[in-house]
Amino acid sequence: MPRHHQVVVRPRIATHSTVLPLLFGCLLVSCSRPEAADDDGLWQRERQAMVDVLRQGGIEDPRVLAAMGKVRRHVYIPPSFRKHGAAYGDHPWPIGHDQTISQPFIVAYMTQKLGPVAGGKVLEIGTGSGYQAAVLAELGARVYTIEIIPQLAEHARRALAAEGYADAVHVLAGDGYKGWPAHAPFDAIIVTCAPEEIPQALVDQLKEGGRMILPLGSTRESQRLVILKKVGGKAQQTEDLPVRFVPMVKGKGR
């Protein structure tokens, strides 16, 4: 399920009907983590500056902003890019296997649109670096995240454990189209790559009244970010931003 996570436009800065933002993608759990020696004052100030940029760009939920201000993005970035003045910039970074760590804005935007997750179970399709999962965990969710590339899944598992999220985030190397039925139903689902149709398995694993956010459409046609709510066993969906994600592809087995 290869994907790139990027965004180049924010809702309050440009009109999406004229400038297509490129989005390539794609509870009460204690998430206290040890403060590492490298989390010095400069990293903290850079995180706060990132949060200020997110707020100016239209991220308003104080819970999301607080979580973004706590998760140490620089530890999810490869050492070659883990530099002051760069790690908390509003852009993606490569993490290997033709993948990227998501741009902070799209992480915050999709998290805000997903709605409250504290006390609930959230399924994430596309673990990547583990950064999005860490943000959800900081918001109080129990996170079940699936990554199709085994090496990335293992790297994310280690990074999340080192940051104190081992009890809150569970990582599976597998096919996101199948979801994670052993832990269903989920209160919310977030998908970071684009299927052409909403996977029925994910709808089936969403709790009644639950919410899902995902990019929808083929790479040959326009895509939209879709917000879905399950009502009466059916998916009621609302279209949001125009987006461009790489396709969600099926894997082999688990």
- Quote the tokens at residue 226: 């879709």
Could you please report the per-residue DSSP string of 63-105? HHHHHHHHS-GGGGS-GGG--TTTTTSSS-EEEETTEEEPPHH
Secondary structure element (H or E) that encloses residue 121, with its range: strand 121-125
Give dist(CA 70, CA 175) in Å, integer: 30
Give dist(CA 94, CA 79) in Å, integer: 11
Give dist(CA 132, CA 176) in Å, integer: 16
Give dist(CA 73, CA 157) in Å, integer: 15
- Residue type at 38? D
Q: Measuring CA to CA, which residue among 81, 70, 253 is closest to residue 165?
A: 70
CB atoms within 10 A of CB 84: 12
- Return contacts of 93-97, CB within 8 angstroms, 24+ apart: 95/128, 95/129, 95/152, 95/155, 96/151, 96/152, 97/2, 97/149, 97/151, 97/152
Residues with active-site annotation: 102
